[in-house]
Structure 1
Amino acid sequence: MAKQALGPIRRSFAPWDDPEAKPLIHFRGVTKRYGDFTAVDGIDLPIYEREFHALLGPSGCGKTTLMRMLAGFEEPTEGDVLLDGASLKGVPPYRRPVNMMFQSYALFPHMSVEKNVAFGLKQDGMAKSEIADRVAEMLTLVRLQDFAKRKPHQLSGGQRQRVALARSLAKKPRVLLLDEPLGALDKKLREATQFELTDLQVDLGMTFLIVTHDQEEAMTVADRIAVMDQGVIRQVATPAEIYEQPASRYVADFIGDINILEGRLEKGANGISRLVVPEDGLVVETDQPVESDAQNAWYAIRPEKLRVSLDQPADIAVNTVSGEIWDIAYLGDVSIYHVKLDNGTIMRATTANTTRLVERPISWDDRVWLTWDRNAGVVLTS
């Protein structure tokens, strides 16, 4: 039986939880060196058919190098890249059933939209009638059928992005590689296009692999995310698991905003773990079972899990800390509070603005109390 997912998932699809499932793509012990520099270090990563998989990490972490090895533009120094169980060693890029959509789109400026989409099909020697039908199908798919005769400079950024997508899909590859595909779009258009991409991927039943440094983008589009750092993978999981159950401080800190407190770990009764933060006089209780002999640990809690109050709670023994409002950011839908604790630590709390009027607004220099539930945060030992 498949394990219960942590948090919402985009669809009922989890072949990685099936021990009998075979991956479509398998990076097996892959290392890539450039002289003395190791760009990718011993990565083992299976990706399954029909999965939308994201490689997420900062610049220089090795994610694009990993994608380029799948595309055939780079060869592994060690290890192998498998597709359907067969090695891709020595197979040139044009003979691999994968296609790449580049961040720059790389459209031919002198060609019309339909000729850009048809270019790869002509190179493959497809019959003219088949090319016309395929181009019409692709332009309808990306809702650009009325723009077939236009040149790229006559299109908006979002339209050019869709032309590049149509061209990448025209040859019907087994795998579509997306290298920072939405980086040139403005925020609202980028958000809308992310949902279009996910719907398109499900409708086509294809395998998509996206490289991005944008956390929100990865969280929106992907079934699973591989978080990379300095050539290695720190965690592979669904977006909800990455956010709610990070495997390390690096992952917790890289994905979204978080407060991290260091303390001494104590195992209590009835499955309750305690973390004592001496400098804050804070005791954290959590119902998370901690399988570790480590004495020092870290407690990570997201800003939206904290409650902010001007009134002292009745129970201040555990999961409660007091501080002074240091900064406030009003973003319309939410307000962000920076609370300075007595020892100088700054904690960040986020509150949804569910009403237009606030009877007792929290303001600068106010003394407030932060409280949270036992299941609100996560204990990390690395």
Structure 2
Amino acid sequence: MAKAAIGPIRRKFAPWDDPNAKPLIEYRNVTKRFGEFVAVDNLDLKIYEREFFALLGPSGCGKTTLMRMLAGFEEPTQGEVLLDAKPIVGIPPYRRPVNMMFQSYALFPHMNVEQNVAFGLKQDKLAKGDIEARVQEVLKLVKLEPFAKRKPHQLSGGQRQRVALARSVAKRPKVLLLDEPLGALDKKLREETQFELMDLQQTLGMTFLIVTHDQEEAMTVADRIAVMDKGRIIQIAPPAEIYEQPASRYVAEFIGDVNVFEGTVTTAGDGHKVIAAHAPAFTIDALSRIDCGQGSTVAFAIRPEKVRISLDAPADTSVNAIAGEVWDIGYLGDVSIYHVRLENGAAVRVTLANRSRVVERPISWDDKVWLSWERDAGVLLTR
């Protein structure tokens, strides 16, 4: 029996904050080399039972190699991989309690939906009655009961994706590995399927590990995200923390859109810093407890939706305010995106929610505008 769903208590789910919690998956000082190329570089990572964990990063960052070492398709050059506190290096893939869902789905074209889902169960030599019951159970979970007798070529892309998912969970592995599972779907279907994937994971009470280069996908489905670059983990945190409190400029720029101003700390007060921005020259006053003193070079990162845009100057233009000219506008329905060119030629991106259907005086191309923000709107970065 699958464990009870944890959806109602999901907001309290944070075993990584419990010093006594035992990880289900653990990488210890893992390095993987392909010749001279270091794909994974002395990496440590802990993933907990019933967690939906995302490995996020650009192509070549090592995320898929990390997953393949857990699946058994690759072995580490050095270090340990543990599952349920037991070393699994050297154990062949078919003997590991994990299953992997590939981006290509890899369905058998000559088998119908039921037969595809049942294939792994037959390989494990389960009783016929148990196989039939398990197949019906997972087809119901993924809402494919009416399509049980169809062949893969008679299904839509989204339906084939669900068949692959049903086949992956039918064996009830301890961990389900998802390698870019939604990459072949169109945008709208991909967004719908992300929520279905979350519901399924909570219903089954399983641990999901997803590899993706899609920031929005990782932010939507995961409890925690590991942002990777060049074989290393740059930051591990829940989605909101990754977005609002990036640990480095790399994370800030990789996750979502961000505006970055370089500057020098002129005042390092208790809980706030005053920064003299370099280009263009203006003053930033930011709430921050980051460890940096007067004279330190820092970057101030602020998300587009945190910036106010107005035709009128703010009451105080001495701090956190800068003038510019609207260079470009993108209308996306729910939001409008403004590219504002500053006096030094740099562009600032501003996102404005379209709350009203009628705008009496819209901000338009070539308008002179003011950009401003609150002291707690951005984050200071020293690396």
- Please give the range of the TM-score, normalised by the shorter of the 2 chains: over 0.9
Q: Does 1:110 align with 2:105?
A: no
Deviation per CA, 1:257-297, whole angstroms, max 9, x where unpaired?
Answer: 00000000233434221111133221111111121347100
Cα deviation, residue 10, structure 1: 5.7
Give the aligned partner of residue 150 of structure 1: 150
Residue 217 of structure 1 aligns with an amino acid whose one-letter code is E
The one-letter amino acid paired with 1:128 is K
Distance in 2, Cα, partners of 1:268 & 1:223: 35
Q: 2 CA distance for matches of 1:84 and 1:44?
A: 16
Cα distance in 1 for partners of 2:27, 2:296 equals 36
Partner SS state of residue 262, structure 1: strand
Partner Cα distance (2:278, 2:177) in 1: 49
Aligned to 2:38: 38
Q: Which residue of the partner structure matches residue 299 of structure 1? A: 300
Does the aligned pair in 1 maintain the 2:262–2:278 contact within 8 Å? no
Per-residue CA distance 1:81-129 (angstroms, 9 max, x = gap):
0011110021110010000000000000000100000000111111111
Cα distance in 1 for residues equivalent to 2:49 and 2:355: 41
TM (norm. structure 1) is: 0.96
CA distance in 1, matches of 2:367, 2:169: 56
Q: Separation in 2 of the partners of 1:120 and 1:203?
A: 21
1:1-382 aligned at under 5 Å gives the runs: 11-293=11-293, 295-382=296-383
Contact 2:176–2:209 (8 Å) recurs in 1: yes
The C-alpha deviation readout for 1:12-64, integer Å capped at 9, x for no partner, is 20000011111000011111000000011011000000000000001111100
2:270–2:289: 8 Å Cα contact kept in structure 1?
no
| CA distance in 1 between partners of 2:278 and 2:225 (Å) | 36
Contact 2:268 / 2:292 at 8 angstroms: preserved in 1? no
The alpha carbon displacement at 1:356 in A equals 1.1
- Give structure 2 stretches of 5+ with no counterpart: 1-8
Partners of 1:244 and 1:234 lie apart in 2 by 15
Q: CA deviation at 1:144?
A: 0.7
Offset at residue 67 of structure 1 (A): 0.1
| Per-residue deviation, 1:312 | 1.0
Identical aligned residues as a percent: 70
Deviation at 1:139, TM superposition (A): 0.6
Pair 1:281–1:225, CA change in 2 (3 A): same
Q: Which amino acid aligns with 1:264?
A: T
2:99 and 2:79 map into 1 onto residues whose CA distance is 22
Separation in structure 2 between the aligned mates of residue 173 and residue 278 of structure 1, nearest angstrom: 54
Show structure 1 runs of 4+ deviating over 2 A. Answer: 266-271
Once residues 157 and 262 of structure 1 are traced to their aligned partners in structure 2, the CA distance between those partners, rounded to angstroms, is 46
Q: Alpha-carbon deviation of 1:332? A: 1.0
Q: Which runs of 5+ in 1 are unaligned?
A: 1-8
- Which amino acid in 1 is paired with 2:52? F
**SS of match in other structure, 2:252:** helix
Q: CA deviation at 1:331?
A: 0.9
1:281-332 C-alpha deviation (Å, 9 max, x unpaired) = 2111111112134710000000000000000112001000000111111111
Greater CA drift, 284-293 or 50-59: 284-293
Deviation of residue 11 (structure 1)? 2.5
Q: State the SS of the aligned residue for 1:242.
A: helix
Q: Using the TM superposition, give the Cα deviation of residue 345 of structure 1 relative to its aligned residue in structure 2, in angstroms.
A: 1.1
Secondary structure of 2:269's aligned partner: coil
Residue 77 of structure 1 aligns to which amino acid in structure 2? T
C-alpha distance in 1 between matches for 2:12 and 2:309: 36
Counterpart of 2:366, as a letter, is D
How far has the Cα of 1:363 moved from its partner?
A: 1.0
Name the TM-score, length of structure 2 as normaliser: 0.96
Provide the secondary structure at the position in 1 that maps to 2:132.
helix
State how far apart, in whole Å, the 2-side matches of 1:216 and 1:270 are.
35
Partner SS for 1:318: coil
SS in 2 for 1:260: strand
**What's the secondary structure of 1:304's corresponding residue?**
helix
Secondary structure in 2 matching 1:68: helix
SS at match of 1:202: helix
Equivalent-residue separation in structure 2 for 1:192 and 1:28 (angstroms): 36
Aligned counterparts of 1:10 and 1:309: Cα–Cα separation in 2? 39
Rounded to whole Å, the distance in 2 between the matches of 1:112 and 1:270 is: 66
| Partner amino acid, structure 1, of 2:176 | L
Amino acid at match of 1:356: R
State the alpha-carbon separation in 1 of the partners of residues 10 and 58 from structure 2. Answer: 24
User: Which amino acid in 1 is paired with 2:307?
Assistant: L
